[in-house]
Amino acid sequence: MRILKILIASTLILLACSLAGCGSQATTPASEAPKFSPATYPTVDGSTVTIPLSEALGAKLMNLPIEEARQYIVHNKTHQAYLNLINGSAALIFVTSPSAEELQIAKESNVKLELIPIVSEGFIFLVNKDNPVNSLTLKQIQDIYTGKITNWKDVAGTDTIIKAYQRPVNSGSQTGFLDLVMGGLTPVNPPTEQIISEMAGLIEAVATYKNEPDAIGYSYFYFATDMWGNEKVKLLAVNGVVPSKETIRDGSYPIRTAYYAAIRSTEAKDSPARQIISWLLTKDGQQLAEEAGYVPIK
């Protein structure tokens, strides 16, 4: 579905590399970072999961303590960030990949989006720590979310009905779920109480739902481990590979993606937004991202 979407949207979106190859994209050598003041720093927006990266980057490039830089970094979540980029109220956004609706809005607005992978990431599934299941195949995950598998006993678990949580349409993790995992398959419509508006809420729901190990949910590795850890959940191995920074970096974890810097394709070559992206892809920029907890794109 990911490849299909890109082909369909080829007239309105420019990708610096495909998802399959973004992990091998070479970064440029170390170079002097561009310098900005709060007054000259471009308007940056983005997903919740990229807030720490955006704050670290802003602090570095504005030469401010991170606590002071935070006041100039406002992320309005994935969908609103795309809307702000399309309508011109943001110059640069750090986001997950766009949804079909966001691509359509860009097309109707005659805006071409340019997406540049900036750090690597893994899309993960999580369950209650007391669930005896430690690993699922990608096919089993698809079967759970299409309703073919409804009981944990069918995947070597206990005789318990599976509660499969989802996120709302146009949330970054729901777009990732549909693109990276479902591969064109249509998930069942869950009960309203199993659609969680916040990514953190989904993790908490999996951890505590009736105190029973019956739930499954999904997130991005960085958010689940660095931003919202919960000792009551565990990350599932997929196709036998446990998600970690190492398995995401080396490509052995099978559900691998990236976070992107997104700009309008009309952005001038020497614009502040492009200067920021160029530096972020240098050795020093990738080191800053790694120090903030992300997996470098190289």
φ/ψ of residue 44, rounded to 5 = -115, 135
Total domains present in the chain: 2
Residues 286 and 239 in one domain: no
Rounded to whole angstroms, how far apart are CA atoms 74 and 45?
6
Are both 184 and 209 inside the same structural domain? yes
Give the structural domain span for 165.
121-250
**Any idea which residue has 């990738």 for tokens?**
286
Domain co-membership, 81 together with 180: no
Same domain, 155 and 54: no
Same domain, yes or no, for 85 and 99? Answer: yes
Rounded to an integer, what distance in angstroms lies between the CA atom of residue 285 and that of residue 253? 24
The answer to whether residues 153 and 213 belong to one domain is: yes
Which of these, 39, 30, 14, lies nearest to 284 by C-alpha position? Answer: 30
Decide if 6 contacts 15 (C-beta within 8 A).
yes
pLDDT tens digit sequence for 78-116: 999 999 999 999 999 999 999 999 999 999 999 999 999
Note whether 131 and 112 are same-domain residues.
no
Q: Same domain, yes or no, for 283 and 163? A: no
Same domain assignment for residues 231 and 279: no
Q: Strand 44-46 and strand 92-95: pairing?
A: parallel
Q: What is the pLDDT of residues 11-44, one digit of tens each?
A: 344 554 433 344 444 455 557 899 999 999 999 9
User: Do residues 12 and 50 both lie within one domain?
Assistant: yes
Are 267 and 290 in a shared domain? yes
Whether residues 110 and 134 share a domain: the answer is no
Predicted model pTM:
0.81
CATH number for the domain spanning 184: value is 3.40.190.10
